[in-house]
Structure 1
Amino acid sequence: MFKSAVFSLLGKDPILSNLTVRKVASEAGLNRTTFYLHYQDIQDLLTQITDEILHELSDKTCDLIHAKDLSKKQKLTQLLDYLYIHPTYLLTLFKIDQFEEQLFLLLKQLIETRRKNTEENLPDDYVAVDIKTASLVGIIMWWIKNGLHFSSNYITKQIYLMYKS
């Protein structure tokens, strides 16, 4: 209930520093004592929310790394589908510095694993993993921040077109 309250409050006022225990507890319909039974403070609540969503993203990324019956495009589309159904959470988490860094690390792991598993010898001038990861994170953040007006399938196609040229 506290997590839902945080997202509800941030939907009304997106400034993290305006969150207070009193506001979150009130929005959740609970008292502050109950809040403190579960969290030390607002930052602890935000950290736990971030960790939970990052864990889900990590599980999804791991599943995609090991999926043998999906093409690379299908794997990326499935990851974007997951992000597409969690826009409110992700918009909030993008405001927390550590989330973008963690998303970067997850995508970097996915790219590195795909490169290790490829049977092709990559040319010396192949796009560096960090550069490719940074561009993907940037695209994903732009897509979510601008309201997800495009489908995950469309974004996947655009990413593949971008890397082809």
Structure 2
Amino acid sequence: MNPRVLKTRKSIMNAFHDLMTEKKYESITIRDIVQRAGINRSTFYLHFLDKEDLMEQNSNFILEKLREAIQYPTFSLEAAQRDYEERQQPISSLIAFFNHIHEYFKFYSVMLGEKQFPQQLDEVIKEELLKFSLDKVRCAYNAGGLIGLIRYWVSTKMQESPEHMAKWVTQMLLFPYSQMDE
């Protein structure tokens, strides 16, 4: 995609994220979005049909970025345990996962309270976890736990670093019965 087009779309999405932290979705207008993004109305409509299309494309974009974070890089259980035991190194895809949540903090802080997004988030996490395990119950449990942890982290304004969160989850996954570090 053309870099100018990408820059304009990102500007529109950032303006939308900012506005969503200031007011309810229903009260945000196209006028608000274009003023915040510094574009004209016709430019908005070159990229999106309406506010609902912007919301849907925005959610799809964020969820696709989350998929990429979960997928990269893959790991083996043995290597992950060795890395953690020898160097206290968290699973790298968990670092990418929490860095993603951190990068899109404004989006998650609003969207976790919306009707459809938590369900979409749950589905994406479960789909990606099923690539590592065929146990659907375990994947559902882990997805629910991750969403709960994201909610906690976002609600506390991300007081812990992404690395801290990744280390905590790594320890829980690899050594569920060991004493947790504080």
Judge conservation of contact 2:70–2:96 (CA < 8 Å) in 1: no
CA deviation map 1:38-96 (0-9, x unaligned): 222111111111111111111222223x3469627413233112222221232233244
Measure, in 2, the Cα distance between the counterparts of 1:86 and 1:70.
29
The verdict on how the C-alpha distance between 1:37 and 1:137 changes in structure 2, with shifts beyond 3 A counting, is same
Q: Does 1:99 align with 2:109?
A: no
Structure 1 residue aligned with 2:141:
131
Show structure 1 runs of 5+ residues with no match: 117-121
Shift of 1:137: 1.0
SS of the counterpart of 1:45?
helix
Q: CA RMSD in A?
A: 2.6
Q: Does 1:51 align with 2:63?
A: no
Structure 1 residue aligned with 2:8:
none
Which of 136, 142, 145 does residue 152 from structure 2 map onto?
Answer: 142
Residue identity (%) = 22
- Superposition pairs of residues 12-91 of structure 1, within 5 angstroms: 12-13=22-23, 15-64=24-73, 66-67=74-75, 71=80, 73-74=90-91, 75-91=93-109
Judge conservation of contact 1:61–1:110 (CA < 8 Å) in 2: yes
- Counting matched residue pairs gives 154
The verdict on how the C-alpha distance between 1:98 and 1:11 changes in structure 2, with shifts beyond 3 A counting, is same
Deviates more, 1:106-115 or 1:129-138: 106-115
SS of the counterpart of 2:116?
helix
Which of 162, 165, 170 does residue 155 from structure 1 map onto?
Answer: 165
Measure, in 2, the Cα distance between the counterparts of 1:161 and 1:70.
14
Structure 2 residue aligned with 1:119:
none
Measure, in 1, the Cα distance between the counterparts of 2:19 and 2:67.
26
TM-score (norm 2): 0.71
Structure 1 residue aligned with 2:133:
115
Show structure 2 runs of 5+ residues with no match: 1-10, 82-89, 178-182
